[in-house]
Structure 1
């Protein structure tokens, strides 16, 4: 993921955007995305969506064990990369299909089906007994489910929350989602190393928990019906055609940045077991510290980051993420750099995701904001599932040091784009 789609979708325009003059017609077009202010979500019904999200996110977290799984079958990290490349294709299909399904069966039920799809994919990996072209199909299913889930989830929350309380619900949702992404591999590592569970059994259990998540999310949709005033799908069908309008604005920078940040996240998480091999350290420690850090950082520091100047906060968090990559390269010299890397990654990446997601939306014209959000999610998936295909080849043919250098290069590229984004803003102001 992951944020992963880590899905803190800020769908409201909060001022300070790109300086576009919004016409009354544009306001009427965007008004369909605004909820009546009196709607609030009941705490009881929210338990179903939050627990369901935690379990479904664990299905994506299970992909961090693919490296271990394919090596046990006689394969290598190249096979891991290919399986996640198939997941990349699946996410793109999921993004394209989610609007169609949400309009017909509702966003909540679409989210439930997506969780079920993730579970089938995870269980499919457990069924693989030898490396073959069929190994790619479970990866496609996981990607299809995760792609649909990360778009259907914010749709479902948008349908059931008011403008006033939507931000807090998105933060809760995103925190639980990231806890599932990092917490599942931590618990799974404990089951494998301490309880001596075989990895295939762990994958079956995670797949079953995704099925439980689907039931919880379906229940959520039934006991918390959406308002009739809100359309079933806020994702415009024209999002592919709106790419030109979006990428002519400053929104292009955060969209590109999240893809690079996702490369850093997926590189360190997917190949964590290979990176610590021979050091005596456990990948489960990294996953545990990362999950705890993300939850604590989002609950305690999110408001601080929001109060800071957004461009400054972005660069500070990206530097922290880069320091996390640097700490990984120092792990062979001191074991303390291992948890330090998880803390830096959890704080930097965990907080920079919602920060630059807000930039992507606010720097777009109001009528293009849903399309900008969709492109942001697509860019995240390309980095999350696409990078392991390249990283696996680098790891096998050039070694772990080359992989860490490649991950660091992605982080540096994201920081460079953040600096260029500021200069673009200054130029735009001078021209105005």
Structure 2
């Protein structure tokens, strides 16, 4: 499993390095408009990458697909690293599209490869540890890059080529994981996950799948508008990002052995309670920066631990023959929340102000709590179980 964790750390670091793309466009005379158009290709790419793994993971080991994903991201950085301007205009967009495709493939392929090699008792701690390494890569490696760029005076072109090499190493590690820890034998066929949506909606996995979409919307709204939420205050968006990520990683590493053994419903109530309290604390940022730090810690612990908990719930409560489809829809729901809410959140922020934006995030988190704790009548459960 160590090969998978190290490969995940490096691949996630490659995804985190996309923060340099806007600087690359500005360096070559581009504006935020060109940056936005290019980054929109990353969204298109993720929506291409996820279905590729959803269908292809029956024909090919998901660990190999995750290794291919790391190489696809590496190709995107290699293209940018060899460009010396914005022309021809399609190449920067192609590079970002490749990054999106690779990340979409990896975001499903890596946890799917891990899930197939763990039993139900091991899956909770495995997903939590995996997500800790993923978060460390996304947040930690870009910080190291910023320091190296400042201290060693590296150009963005060289930095992108270094990231591409790092991702090539990640691909090799993911291949090693697949060879050293082969998955159980499966029938080598293309897997249908779209047609299994009615089964998912009738079964217990629908609740965590809906929850991750709502949680993704809360997370993207909270992170995407931090600069606006802290404008005119003594708080810093950068401090929020650091404290949130550090709290999420620390709590995952400290508790990954224990989360699976704790009662699920009280745990979900507690974690979503932390998330809701953290969002409420954002309303006090104008009063004192301490509210901002507390908000970062509460949301880091709440959201940071909730994701692997509901991911384990979605997989473990599904029939083995449906688990690939459940995990695929889980990732699709997450990306819909992540990429879908910022447009609405931005409109709320401009038209109604910060309070309404924060209020909408609290409402979404409360709906997520309701989905997590409110159960259907037993008769409906019996009908659903017969469908599986």
TM class, shorter-length? 0.7 to 0.9
Matched, 1:117 2:106: no
CA distance in 2, matches of 1:103, 1:217: 18
2:362 matches 1:424: no
Q: Does 1:242 align with 2:199?
A: no
- Residue 154 of structure 1 corresponds to 111
Query: Quick check: 1:95 aligned with 2:11?
Result: no
- Please say if 1:62 is aligned against 2:17: yes
* Deviating more after overlay: 87-96 vs 373-382: 87-96
Residue aligning to 1:20: none
Distance 1:278 1:189 in 2: 26
TM-score scaled by length of structure 1: 0.72
Correspondence for 2:6 among 36, 51, 54: 51
CA contact (8 A) 1:286 1:339 kept: yes
Counterpart position of 1:334? 288
**Counterpart Cα distance in 2 of 1:272 and 1:201:** 30
Query: 1:1-400 residue pairs with structure 2 within 5 A?
Result: 46-63=1-18, 73-75=30-32, 80=36, 85-99=40-54, 101-102=56-57, 106-121=61-76, 137-158=94-115, 160=117, 165=122, 167-188=124-145, 190=147, 205-222=162-179, 224=180, 226=182, 229-231=184-186, 237-277=191-231, 279=233, 281-392=235-346, 394=348
Question: How many residue pairs align between the two structures?
Answer: 380
Match of 1:57, SS state, is: helix
Contact 1:118 1:143 in 2 (8 A): yes
66-75 vs 271-280, which moves further: 66-75
**Residue by residue, what CA displacement relative to the aligned partner does 1:304-334 show, whole Å, maximum 9, x if unpaired?**
5434431222122112112222233332332
Query: When the two structures are superposed, what TM-score results if normalisation uses the length of structure 2?
Result: 0.79
Pair 93,429 (structure 1): closer, same or farther in 2 beyond 3 Å: closer
Question: In structure 2, what is the Cα distance between the partners aligned to 1:302 and 1:174?
Answer: 10
Cα distance, 1:212 vs structure 2: 3.0
Q: Which moved more, 1:60-69 or 1:151-160?
A: 60-69
In the TM superposition, what is the alpha-carbon distance from 1:190 to its structure 2 partner?
A: 4.9
The question of whether the paired residues in 1 share the 8 Å contact of 2:196 and 2:322 is answered with yes
- Given the superposition, is the C-alpha separation of residues 138 and 409 from structure 1 closer, same or farther in structure 2, using an over 3 Å criterion? farther
| Residue range with higher mean Cα deviation, 189-198 or 140-149 | 189-198
> Deviation per CA, 1:17-37, whole angstroms, max 9, x where unpaired?
xxxxxxxxxxxxxxxxxxxxx
1:54 touches 1:177 (CA, 8 Å); kept in 2? yes
**CA gap 1:170/1:93 in 2 versus in 1, 3 angstroms:** same
For the residues of structure 1 that align with 2:78 and 2:55, how far apart are their CA atoms?
26
User: By how many angstroms is 1:75 displaced?
Assistant: 2.0
Higher relative contact order (CA 8 A, sep 6+): 1
CA 1:101–1:256 in 2, change beyond 3 Å: closer, same or farther? Answer: closer
Residues 112-155 of structure 1: per-residue CA shift (max 9 Å, x gap): 12112233445667869669787654443333112211222134
Unaligned runs of 5+ residues in structure 2 are none
Unaligned runs of 5+ in 1: 1-45
Q: Deviations over 1:79-99 (max 9, x none)?
A: 64x655543332232122125
Give the 3 Å change call, closer, same or farther, for CA 61–390 of structure 1 in structure 2.
farther
Aligned-partner SS, 2:31: coil
Cα offset for 1:284?
3.7
How far did residue 301 of structure 1 move?
3.3
The secondary structure found in structure 2 opposite 1:424 is coil
Query: CA, structure 1 residues 184+409, in 2 after alignment: closer, same or farther (shift >3 Å)?
Result: farther
Other structure's SS at 1:241 match? coil
Structure 1 Cα separation of the partners of residues 78 and 233 of structure 2: 30
Closer, same or farther: CA 136–325 of 1 in aligned 2, 3 Å = farther
Query: Cα RMSD between the aligned structures?
Result: 3.9
